[in-house]
Chains A and B, each alone.
Chain A
Amino acid sequence: MNALAIQIEGIGVWSPQLAGFHALQDLLAGEMPATGAARPPASALSPIERRRAPQSVLVAIEAASQAVAMSGRAASSLACVFASAYGDQVTTDYMCSVLARTPTELSPTRFHNSVHNAAAGYWTIAADCHAPSSATCAGSASFGAGLLEAAVLACADNRPVLLVCSDDVGVGPLGELIGGTQVFGCALVLSPGKDAGHRLRLALTASAPRHPPLPTECLAWMHDNASAAALPLLAMLATGRGDCVLAASEQLGLHVQREM
């Protein structure tokens, strides 16, 4: 077998330009989208955690909350996969700067925020979720590889899964090299069922990534943020049309088609 059948029960999107999935739908319909705030609300976190968490975590939590709310599922019941190509580049830049000068002055809180599963940790604590949680990456294929991991988990264990994929902007010498200049996060609640609206077929393929035409804004975000590689799929869900091939690794594609 090389294909999986899933359904999408919830969708979340956050960037400074997109307050939610409805804003992306507006953009794709040729309208001016409702812009996001400078900082994601991430109201699922307690005020203390919201102050302690870095922006990368807030973006992931905001997207996750939107998707879970749309699904109507209890956040505590969902297994989750948090994908990010580069993790928290701001924290990495801080860590490497301090380590180069005064390593014994490293902040313990910023160290625990530096783990790739920081967002998964904050989310499971806020949601009181004891289900399995993971944190993954696969370079520029992080969204497609994360989608494959989440869909496989949903189908193999017959359970709904929350997938979150987000990347922050890069700063400092690391940011100069990596080149991420856009914040972007998205989330899907997916399950192996057949009773919700968006039914998808995912198949492994040797084909290169491809997608139908997208607005220039989307193409720019895809250039400037690795997680925005999700936009072709999000556009499929928003418009109810088309198919796409997402990168799932350097060698492998994931062909996403709508199931009628």
Chain B
Amino acid sequence: MRVTTLPLAVTAYTATSALGQGLDAHLDALCRQRSGLRINDFSNTPLPCWIGRVDGVEELALPAAQAEWDCRNNRLAWLGLRQDDFLAKVQAARERYGAKRLALLLGTSTASIRATEEGYRRLEAGRLPADLHRKSIHTPHSLTAFVAAALGVEGPCLTVSTACSSSAKVFASAERLIRLGLVDAAIVGGVDSLCDSTLFGFNALELVSPEPCRPFDAARRGISIGEAAGFALLERAPSQPQAELHLLGCGESSDAHHMSTPDPSGLGAELALRDIFERAGIAASAVDYINLHGTASQKNDAMEAAVVARLFPTSTRVSSTKGLTGHSLGAAGIVEAVITMLALREGFVPGNAGIIEPDPACSEHFAWRNETRSLRIALSHSFGFGGSNACLAFARADHIA
């Protein structure tokens, strides 16, 4: 049976990453192609690589009532929530619908694992030290539990942790809850922060680049890990006629191929895209822009470039923006959803940052530099470890006109 999804109004959205805090900082960096990557000054022992670090996280304090959740990841979440009037817009939605009719669905891959790492570095008689001996920060639900408390959400609350597709998949979960009428609005998003687990983990897999990452470059050498927080508020479109942007649909699939490398045939990615075409009732030719997963790993970029060439006409422009932000893992889905929405709002295609010599496998779809172009429909790709794929389709609310 064909399942169509109803468009949802995106009534608020924001991102905080290495590019800065909030939408204006992101738009400015995208327009000027200013990268937020820096030489690694974060890992607990040296690791020669580049990272996308967010400034100002260390100085931030959580609200006193939520002090039990204090850790770097939740400070980054709180920093992100305070941008672009997001808190006020959530407050208005909560008053409009009631706290029980509001869902919270957040993606993260490592949550507050950095606090657990720190605890293990300074054990006290074999136990986590007193200041970190708090269950609330040593669980993968730490982020969502903190945000639920800070925002006063009383509806369904769920953490989705499917590695690098986490904060894209939350859009699909939210859409289903709203479509079935279990809630009237949903806060979606994700936060992942720098930690030794991912820096040294990806290093062990030989996936970390010693230089700033260069997605789709012929001489790409791997990923640059970043951190980020991003959020969006989704409501039924008919009740929010003033909203400029819609979520048209979400597509999901599994590779069923390998734990840490994508299926080189691109079958999983293609299934997620066909899912979205069917649900949103659009053809590939209707897609004006795709913000690619484009991590700068050898295998992802080869697979993804082939899928683009196979499925889309050259009127579809594509690029990865991870050369600017780094790969924020479980937060990549929401950060790139926000970048995709900015591109739709402003009418431009962000250039594929970090490129020196394009991989010859890349077709003419690729926008190597910024392009001014009016966009109606745009996609964002997110592909994660374990073969977890999610694609999102956004549109200008006036796209049908």
The 8 Å CB contact of A177, one of B133, B258, B267, is B133
Whether B401 sits at the interface, judged by CB under 8 Å, is: no
Asked if B127 and A120 make an inter-chain contact with CB atoms under 8 angstroms apart, the answer reads no
Whether B159 sits at the interface, judged by CB under 8 Å, is: yes
Asked if A173 and B120 make an inter-chain contact with CB atoms under 8 angstroms apart, the answer reads yes
The 8 Å CB contact of A2, one of B3, B138, B182, is B182
Task: Enumerate A60-103 residues with CB–CB distance to B below 8 Å.
Answer: 85-87, 92, 95-97, 99-100, 103
State how many angstroms separate the Cβ of B268 from the closest Cβ of chain A. 6
CB closest chain-B residue, reference A89: B138
What CA separation (Å) do A104 and B204 show in the bound complex?
Answer: 7
Asked if B44 and A157 make an inter-chain contact with CB atoms under 8 angstroms apart, the answer reads no
Knowing A92-B113, A133-B162, A133-B388, the reply to whether A99 touches B44 (Cβ < 8 A) is: yes
What CA separation (Å) do A145 and B157 show in the bound complex?
Answer: 7
Contact partners of A135 in chain B: CB under 8 A: 160-162, 386, 388
Knowing A100-B121, A116-B162, A134-B169, the reply to whether A125 touches B260 (Cβ < 8 A) is: no
The 8 Å CB contact of B116, one of A106, A112, A174, A252, is A174
The 8 Å CB contact of A134, one of B127, B133, B157, B162, is B162
Asked if A96 and B180 make an inter-chain contact with CB atoms under 8 angstroms apart, the answer reads no
What CA separation (Å) do A155 and B180 show in the bound complex?
Answer: 8
Knowing A116-B140, A137-B140, A250-B157, the reply to whether A97 touches B120 (Cβ < 8 A) is: yes
Contact partners of A129 in chain B: CB under 8 A: 254, 256
What CA separation (Å) do A99 and B140 show in the bound complex?
Answer: 18
What CA separation (Å) do A122 and B157 show in the bound complex?
Answer: 26
State how many angstroms separate the Cβ of A187 from the closest Cβ of chain B. 17
Asked if B141 and A139 make an inter-chain contact with CB atoms under 8 angstroms apart, the answer reads yes
Whether B348 sits at the interface, judged by CB under 8 Å, is: no
What CA separation (Å) do A114 and B117 show in the bound complex?
Answer: 14
CB closest chain-B residue, reference A3: B182
Task: Enumerate A1-29 residues with CB–CB distance to B below 8 Å.
Answer: 1-2, 4
What CA separation (Å) do A86 and B141 show in the bound complex?
Answer: 8
Contact partners of B388 in chain A: CB under 8 A: 117, 120-121, 133-135
Whether A152 sits at the interface, judged by CB under 8 Å, is: yes
Asked if B268 and A130 make an inter-chain contact with CB atoms under 8 angstroms apart, the answer reads yes
Report, as a range, how many residues of chain A touch the other chain: 35 or more
Task: Enumerate A215-260 residues with CB–CB distance to B below 8 Å.
Answer: 248-252
What CA separation (Å) do A111 and B203 show in the bound complex?
Answer: 10
Whether B176 sits at the interface, judged by CB under 8 Å, is: yes
Whether A138 sits at the interface, judged by CB under 8 Å, is: yes
Whether A38 sits at the interface, judged by CB under 8 Å, is: no
The 8 Å CB contact of B200, one of A104, A136, A156, A174, is A104
Asked if B120 and A100 make an inter-chain contact with CB atoms under 8 angstroms apart, the answer reads yes
Whether B227 sits at the interface, judged by CB under 8 Å, is: no
Whether A108 sits at the interface, judged by CB under 8 Å, is: yes
Knowing A112-B259, A121-B259, the reply to whether A92 touches B116 (Cβ < 8 A) is: yes
What CA separation (Å) do A108 and B385 show in the bound complex?
Answer: 13
Task: Enumerate B209-228 residues with CB–CB distance to A below 8 Å.
Answer: none
Whether A107 sits at the interface, judged by CB under 8 Å, is: yes
Residue from B133, B158, B159, B268 with most neighbouring chain A CB atoms (10 Å): B158
Asked if A115 and B161 make an inter-chain contact with CB atoms under 8 angstroms apart, the answer reads yes
Contact partners of B21 in chain A: CB under 8 A: none
Knowing A1-B180, A138-B144, A206-B100, the reply to whether A132 touches B44 (Cβ < 8 A) is: no
Asked if A148 and B148 make an inter-chain contact with CB atoms under 8 angstroms apart, the answer reads no
B residues adjacent to A (C-beta < 8 A): 1, 3, 43-45, 47, 100, 109, 113, 116-117, 119-121, 123, 126-128, 133, 135, 138-141, 144-145, 148-149, 153-163, 169, 172-173, 176-177, 179-182, 196-197, 200-206, 252-260, 267-268, 271, 275, 384-388
7 further A-B pairs in the complex, CB-CB below 8 A; given A92-B113, A138-B141? A108-B260, A116-B162, A131-B254, A142-B141, A153-B176, A204-B100, A251-B157
Pairs A–B under 8 Å by Cβ, sample size 27: A2-B181, A86-B139, A86-B140, A99-B200, A103-B44, A104-B200, A106-B201, A106-B203, A107-B204, A115-B385, A117-B162, A117-B163, A118-B259, A118-B386, A124-B387, A129-B256, A132-B172, A134-B160, A134-B169, A138-B157, A138-B159, A139-B139, A152-B176, A152-B182, A251-B100, A252-B154, A252-B155
Cβ-closest 6 pairs across A and B: A121-B386, A116-B161, A111-B201, A132-B252, A156-B176, A96-B120
